Chains A and B, each alone.
Chain A
Amino acid sequence: MEDKEFNLEQMEKETEEMLKINILNPAEAKFFRTKGGFAGLKVKEEEYPRVQVVRMFPFTDPEHYISIRTVEERSKEIGIIEDMSKIDAETRALLLEQLNLRYFTPVITKIINIKDLHGFAYFDVLTDRGECRFTIHMGGGAVVHLSETRVIITDLDENRFEIPDIMKLSANERKKLDLFL
């Protein structure tokens, strides 16, 4: 890559590399914890001092198809973990730690109050991380339905909150949420 001479063959090889789906073999891919607490990866001879862990289907299939990527801004895929349950517990814990940070989303367990005022809705909810009060825009897009019963709510700053199953809320709470369903 650093070779400044133009090399068509090399470029074609790179392109081919880009088009290939590279499934990581758990036996070959050795993840390790970096000094600073991030995840690093060694595959065969290649060592990556730090990697990014990204879900391909964060909502519909969080346990499968995990993309391991380089960290620079135009990150490239190093490989894919097909199934999180097929890797050893230690690696799993390390990767989950990264994933939890990346996809941090408090889960709403109880709706205390929702107030609809002049184009904004003020939420007061109980989440698995404590009580939260946030505000959303009424003008579309803030409440996204992932399925009939699953909802992601995005506040003014694009912080996210999730209701995994609205049917688990009480009838009274659903009524408060009614406006958005």
Chain B
Amino acid sequence: MKEVKIPKKIEKLIRENGEADEEIIASSASDMNVACEYADGYVVLTSKALYVFASESDSKQVHLFKGAIVKKDEDTEDDKEWHVRRFPADDYKKLTIEPQVACSLLVITDNEDVERTLTVFSNLHRKSMFKLSREFAHLPGKEEKGEGPGGPGRGFGGPHGHGRGGDGEGEDYCPKCGRMYPNPERKVCPHCIDRKTIFTRTLKYFGPYKIRIVALIIMYTLVAALNLVWPYLNGTVLYDYVLKKNLEFLPNIGLRNANIMTALLLVIITMFAAKLVQQLLNILQGATTAKIVADVVCDMKKSIFDSMGKLSISFFKNRQTGSLMTRVLNDADRVTSFFIDDVPYIFIHSITLVTTVLVMVRINWQMALASMFLLPISFIFSFKFRPKFWNAFGRRHRAERSVNNQVNDNLTGARVVKAFGQEKKEEHRFSSANTRLKDTEMSIVRLDNIFSAIFQLTHNAAGIIIWCMGAFFILNKGTMALGILVTFIGYTNQLDGPMRFMSRVFRSWSDSMNAAQRMFEIIDAVPEILEDENPVPLDNPKGDIELRNVTFGYEINRPVLKNVSLNIPAGSMLGIVGRSGAGKTTLVNLISRMYDPNEGQILFDGIDIKHISFHDLRRNVAMVSQETYIFMGTIEENIAYANPNAAKAEIIRAAKLASAHDFILRMPDGYNTVVGSSGRQLSGGERQRISIARAILADPKILILDEATASVDTETERAIQASINYLIKGRTTIYIAHRLSTLRDADFLCVIDNGEITERGTHAELEALRGTYYKLMELQTKALALKE
């Protein structure tokens, strides 16, 4: 153990209470007491004894859990009163952790077999406590006293291995704010990464379409310019010059001797042309936008999908399919809408806003001021509404997700729903999820409405004020012409767009960033299984497999495999027997590196599989498991899944070896029959045979058969058995089976019980041992005999 972090006061207490030469081996904090109250504590293991420190429960103290803990620089607990108990290691034989539903007990067993609870701790400390209990088991003299394999085995013995990460609890803090990372595998502090980075990262997706975006901006600018000219044409020129027969402006545009009708015609043509160009630009703009959006959305979906593909199997186990689908399907659309519908307009509208205001100020600054003073109000409202929108969008996402999950669940389970006649109930379940989604949409609409009401109000108020002021200037002071007023009103209307935009921009921003955040969550997720950057090349491997003291659990304190060591020489066949849930499938999942062991190593030809590239490993290890999956596509494609370039002859051969050839030819389209989700239904046995053919074609060095013949009838099983016998030649085979008859040809067998190998040897040896294997064998033969 490298570094053990404990407060100085605790260390001092150990020195006072213990012997001179005690060395601190491991420690862990605890946070509860036996009465189920939160109370700080420590458990420290030294070379001679176990110390348990307890403090009084303090109802005022704030209890921090993962993600909320802030790194402390100094010992703040020094003022606590500690109650110390010392347990000499020699008087106790076992230290175990007993997981409860949401907390765990640390239990010590003395040499008289009396078990006592030392302390209770929340799951926050389970990792360090687990380590401590293992260290206790490693104390000299403990291993012998512990029960041997096959015993109840609640203590997990075993020599030292390299733990995954082996980190102390003190390293996973954000350097900026000192908070603990909620996910130590992904060192991103949600408090410190700001939304700007999401924005810029999202912007990068538009990078490849720069030229089109520039074109788009030019078009926007042109439209804005035309917008600016329009009120002038429509107001000042039309009313004050043409209609008032004021022709002084004509020489300015190069027409010296024109009459009034020409001038009118000219103005009309110009106005018409302006509108026409504007319309054309709009169409062009729409088309360009649509193209960019489609491309970017496509890119984003691809990158989400690709990232998902890289993630380890545990990621998918922890999430619902429907919720992942929502991310791939909906989020990318949401992200882009802001960038296309809003971002370009930020420039355009800003330009329009500034120039329009300038023009308006020049015409009449008092009126300009009047039309503007309400702008900040709607802007502030927009800003204030931001968190509301943010939450509303988050809620809509969750509602969408639950609808998707509901649909996914229902479609996958359609058969069960029908079989039990529960369509009505499912309709109800769906409609309640669907109603929730509707409600969230409605609440967004409601927010929108409040918003536009405020906006309209300010807008209309400003309009009325300007009309009044204009009338005042014209009637009372005579300082303004009617045309000017019309022009001015035109400009006020011009402001409408930018103002409406400014008031809505935060809404769209929330929508987009909310979705982008979820998108990056997937893209940034770090796979638990990482490929070695400089893998050891694997040329022409032999196929030796060795497991060295492998301990593994899906949860750290619930090991499924305990200190398993196993050696499978190249070319031999190992049969694995055991009850369901004993850890057989877990064992082969580790060999194909779906998971990494918590402790110990798995070696392939003497190389730790962590140092082998995924490509080499997956090419050399093929698995036929109890869960068969047939992809959408033809039978041919399904068999050639791992080897798409396989020749027709090879595919046929693989199918023949898997006893699949004949049933395939009974189908109308032979190897071209479309199977999978939408195509023809295959029976369980047929699926299994296709997946066996798939494995045969992959031609791996190591073949794993996990209950590969579980769902075929006895006759087919015999046929497959024959092909397997052929298949295992020259390969290392691991064969898991419940039916012992299928393991007759195994070179040697092992029995796994409770995560440990309890029996191993050849068929004859195990029979002679008269243990579990013998029992199972007798049971199966006698059960068969009874049937006949």
Interfacial chain B residues near A139, Cβ < 8 Å: 319, 323, 521
- Known contacts A6-B779, A133-B65, A140-B320; decide if A159 and B518 are in contact (CB<8 Å): no
* Chain B residue with the shortest CB-CB distance to A157: B123
**Does A28 lie at the interface of the complex (its beta carbon under 8 Å from any beta carbon of B)?**
no
**Does A27 lie at the interface of the complex (its beta carbon under 8 Å from any beta carbon of B)?**
no
Interfacial chain B residues near A131, Cβ < 8 Å: 61-63
* CB-based contact A179/B394 at 8 Å: yes
Interfacial chain A residues near B102, Cβ < 8 Å: 103-105, 158-160
**Does B395 lie at the interface of the complex (its beta carbon under 8 Å from any beta carbon of A)?**
yes
* Chain A residue with the shortest CB-CB distance to B115: A36
Q: In the complex, A6→B105 CA distance in Å?
A: 39
**Does B754 lie at the interface of the complex (its beta carbon under 8 Å from any beta carbon of A)?**
yes
**Does B447 lie at the interface of the complex (its beta carbon under 8 Å from any beta carbon of A)?**
no
* CB-based contact B66/A157 at 8 Å: yes
Partner of B100, one of A50, A104, A129: A104
* CB neighbors of B among A112-163 (8 A): 116-120, 122, 124, 129-135, 137-141, 155-160
Interfacial chain B residues near A122, Cβ < 8 Å: 67-68, 190
**Does A72 lie at the interface of the complex (its beta carbon under 8 Å from any beta carbon of B)?**
yes
**Does B5 lie at the interface of the complex (its beta carbon under 8 Å from any beta carbon of A)?**
no
* CB-based contact A100/B36 at 8 Å: yes
Partner of A157, one of B65, B153, B774, B779: B65
Q: Shortest beta-carbon distance, B582 to chain A, in Å?
A: 10
Interfacial chain A residues near B615, Cβ < 8 Å: none
**Does B764 lie at the interface of the complex (its beta carbon under 8 Å from any beta carbon of A)?**
no
Interfacial chain A residues near B63, Cβ < 8 Å: 129-133
Q: In the complex, A156→B185 CA distance in Å?
A: 13
Provide the B24-50 mask, 1 if CB < 8 A to any CB of A, else 0.
000000001010111000000000000
Q: Shortest beta-carbon distance, B232 to chain A, in Å?
A: 49
Interfacial chain B residues near A105, Cβ < 8 Å: 101-102
Q: Shortest beta-carbon distance, B754 to chain A, in Å?
A: 6
Q: Shortest beta-carbon distance, B781 to chain A, in Å?
A: 10
Interfacial chain B residues near A102, Cβ < 8 Å: 100-101
Interfacial chain B residues near A120, Cβ < 8 Å: 67, 182, 190
* CB-based contact B120/A130 at 8 Å: no
**Does B20 lie at the interface of the complex (its beta carbon under 8 Å from any beta carbon of A)?**
no
* CB-based contact A134/B66 at 8 Å: yes
* CB-based contact B101/A104 at 8 Å: yes
Partner of B154, one of A73, A129, A158, A159: A73
* CB-based contact A116/B394 at 8 Å: yes
Q: Shortest beta-carbon distance, A172 to chain B, in Å?
A: 14
* CB-based contact A37/B101 at 8 Å: no
Provide the B746-788 mask, 1 if CB < 8 A to any CB of A, else 0.
0000000010000000000000001100110011001000000
Provide the B188-225 mask, 1 if CB < 8 A to any CB of A, else 0.
10110100000000000000000000000000000000
* CB-based contact B65/A103 at 8 Å: no
**Does B116 lie at the interface of the complex (its beta carbon under 8 Å from any beta carbon of A)?**
yes
Q: In the complex, A134→B59 CA distance in Å?
A: 17
Interfacial chain B residues near A118, Cβ < 8 Å: 188, 190, 193, 517, 521
Q: Shortest beta-carbon distance, B500 to chain A, in Å?
A: 28
**Does A74 lie at the interface of the complex (its beta carbon under 8 Å from any beta carbon of B)?**
yes
* CB-based contact A132/B62 at 8 Å: yes
* CB-based contact A133/B319 at 8 Å: no
* CB-based contact A104/B323 at 8 Å: no
* Chain A residue with the shortest CB-CB distance to B755: A73
- Which of B65, B102, B782 has the most CB atoms of chain A within a 10 A radius of its CB? B102
* Chain B residue with the shortest CB-CB distance to A181: B395
Partner of B754, one of A73, A119, A138: A73
* CB-based contact B323/A140 at 8 Å: yes
Interfacial chain B residues near A73, Cβ < 8 Å: 152-154, 754
Q: Shortest beta-carbon distance, B740 to chain A, in Å?
A: 13
**Does A19 lie at the interface of the complex (its beta carbon under 8 Å from any beta carbon of B)?**
no
Interface residues of B, CB < 8 Å — how many? 61
* Chain B residue with the shortest CB-CB distance to A38: B115
- Counting chain A residues whose Cβ lies within 8 A of the other chain, the interface size class is 35 or more
* CB-based contact A156/B65 at 8 Å: yes
Q: Shortest beta-carbon distance, A72 to chain B, in Å?
A: 5
Cross-chain pair count, CB within 8 angstroms: 155
Q: Shortest beta-carbon distance, A105 to chain B, in Å?
A: 6
**Does A171 lie at the interface of the complex (its beta carbon under 8 Å from any beta carbon of B)?**
no
Q: In the complex, A114→B778 CA distance in Å?
A: 60
* CB-based contact A101/B66 at 8 Å: no
* CB-based contact A129/B37 at 8 Å: yes
Q: Shortest beta-carbon distance, A56 to chain B, in Å?
A: 13
Provide the B104-119 mask, 1 if CB < 8 A to any CB of A, else 0.
0101000000111100
* CB-based contact A130/B60 at 8 Å: yes
* Chain B residue with the shortest CB-CB distance to A105: B102
**Does B257 lie at the interface of the complex (its beta carbon under 8 Å from any beta carbon of A)?**
no
* Chain B residue with the shortest CB-CB distance to A134: B65
* Chain A residue with the shortest CB-CB distance to B402: A140
**Does B452 lie at the interface of the complex (its beta carbon under 8 Å from any beta carbon of A)?**
no
* CB-based contact A157/B114 at 8 Å: no
**Does B285 lie at the interface of the complex (its beta carbon under 8 Å from any beta carbon of A)?**
no
- Known contacts A135-B68, A179-B395, A179-B398; decide if A130 and B61 are in contact (CB<8 Å): yes
- Known contacts A101-B36, A159-B102, A179-B391; decide if A119 and B521 are in contact (CB<8 Å): yes
**Does B711 lie at the interface of the complex (its beta carbon under 8 Å from any beta carbon of A)?**
no
* Chain B residue with the shortest CB-CB distance to A152: B102
* CB-based contact B771/A156 at 8 Å: no
Q: In the complex, A160→B126 CA distance in Å?
A: 14
* Chain B residue with the shortest CB-CB distance to A104: B103
**Does B677 lie at the interface of the complex (its beta carbon under 8 Å from any beta carbon of A)?**
no
Q: Shortest beta-carbon distance, A112 to chain B, in Å?
A: 10
Q: In the complex, A140→B782 CA distance in Å?
A: 49
Q: In the complex, A180→B401 CA distance in Å?
A: 12
**Does B683 lie at the interface of the complex (its beta carbon under 8 Å from any beta carbon of A)?**
no
* CB-based contact B152/A72 at 8 Å: yes
Q: In the complex, A160→B37 CA distance in Å?
A: 14
**Does B318 lie at the interface of the complex (its beta carbon under 8 Å from any beta carbon of A)?**
yes
* CB-based contact B190/A117 at 8 Å: yes
* CB-based contact A116/B66 at 8 Å: no
Q: Shortest beta-carbon distance, B562 to chain A, in Å?
A: 11
**Does B253 lie at the interface of the complex (its beta carbon under 8 Å from any beta carbon of A)?**
no
* CB-based contact A155/B114 at 8 Å: no
* CB-based contact A134/B782 at 8 Å: no
* CB-based contact A134/B101 at 8 Å: no
Q: In the complex, A72→B152 CA distance in Å?
A: 6
* CB neighbors of A among B123-181 (8 A): 123-124, 126, 152-154
* CB-based contact A119/B517 at 8 Å: yes
Q: Shortest beta-carbon distance, B497 to chain A, in Å?
A: 33
* CB neighbors of A among B62-112 (8 A): 62-68, 100-103, 105, 107
* CB-based contact A157/B126 at 8 Å: yes
Interfacial chain B residues near A135, Cβ < 8 Å: 65-68, 182
* Chain A residue with the shortest CB-CB distance to B776: A6
Q: Shortest beta-carbon distance, A68 to chain B, in Å?
A: 16
Q: Shortest beta-carbon distance, A124 to chain B, in Å?
A: 8
* CB neighbors of A among B623-640 (8 A): none
Closest 7 CB pairs of A and B: A135-B67, A133-B68, A134-B65, A6-B778, A117-B190, A157-B123, A36-B116
Beyond A117-B191, A157-B126, 13 additional contacts (C-beta under 8 Å) are A6-B779, A8-B782, A36-B115, A100-B36, A101-B36, A101-B103, A103-B100, A105-B101, A132-B38, A134-B67, A139-B521, A159-B103, A160-B102
11 A-B residue pairs with Cβ-Cβ distance under 8 Å, sorted by A, are A34-B115, A58-B101, A101-B120, A124-B68, A129-B36, A131-B63, A140-B401, A157-B66, A179-B395, A179-B398, A180-B398
- Measured CB to CB, the residues of B under 8 A from A are 32, 34, 36-38, 58-68, 100-103, 105, 107, 114-117, 120, 122-124, 126, 152-154, 182-183, 188, 190-191, 193, 318-320, 323, 390-391, 394-395, 398, 401, 517-518, 521, 754, 770-771, 774-775, 778-779, 782
